[in-house]
Amino acid sequence: MFKGSFVALITPFRDGAVDETAFQEHIAWQIGQGTHGLVPIGTTGECPALEEHEQERLIALTVEVAKGRVPVIPGTGFNSTAHTIKATRAAKAAGADAALVVCPYYNKPTQEGLYQHFKAVHDAVDLPIVIYNIPGRSAVDMSNATMARLAKLPNIVGVKDATNDLTRPLKMRIEIEGEFSLMSGEDGTAIAYLAQGGDGVISVTANVAPGLCSEMHSAWQRGDFATVRRINERLMPLHDALFVETSPTPVKYAASLLGRCTPEVRQPLWELLPETREKVQRAMRGAGLLN
């Protein structure tokens, strides 16, 4: 269902408020550069620091610009099942194409708890659901067996896999019958993930290098592996630099260098250290994104 280079959209701020103009201009630029899908209000969009009305507004703004040209998959997952259902219903009402639902964080549910959480959302809202498995943030890791069980439900259509375990896509291809989108959540290993059976990536780096990221995934789909390797090598230092401090602080600073937004993040995130700013600048220049 979903494949290629999807962007985990940043949320631009100006003087503490969401900068709606910058956000929509960023989306239009992404589409113009060939990005294959849009993922607002996920981890990179600072979802936990956004008010509910801001989240709903950001989905509406994304749908408005996308105009059906590319899929819109907002983050709607919370550590409360009831809150997740409410947010997913709002996403459907706003015209989203699917919802990205994270494994409930902090609560640390069992595998059965994970299954019942996702089933409850699935049964309550008629909208395709992409599971977001990111144990480094949520403190719980969905097993392949639980995911294969969930994949039997008609509206559980894929996963954003941020485990960085490159055996998983191949094992999931073996365990899951039928169509199921395997999207990497790790830029640095996204090509290796594709080689193991993946379909694409939900990318942080695409916020500042959308053309290169989309070109790389398009080249993969047509079997042009020389181009894939060339672009991947060019982007690797940037992938690393964008995670030297907690994301999305580095990528918002990188986007500010391109004039796409201010580098503002909401607390408890904080501005980059001077040495990190220098590293991001060097990586941006090395990738050919800055003069």
Q: List, by residue number, the catalytic residues.
A: 132, 160
What distance in Å separates the CA atoms of residue 147 and residue 159, rounded to the nearest whole number? 9
Which of 46, 45, 34 is closest to 4 using CA atoms?
A: 34
Secondary structure percentages of the chain, helix, strand, coil, to 5: 50, 15, 40
DSSP state of 208: T
**Terminal alpha carbon distance of the chain:** 38
DSSP state of 206: G
- Looking up tokens 């937004």, which residue turns up? 261
In contact, 164 and 137? CB cutoff 8 Å: no
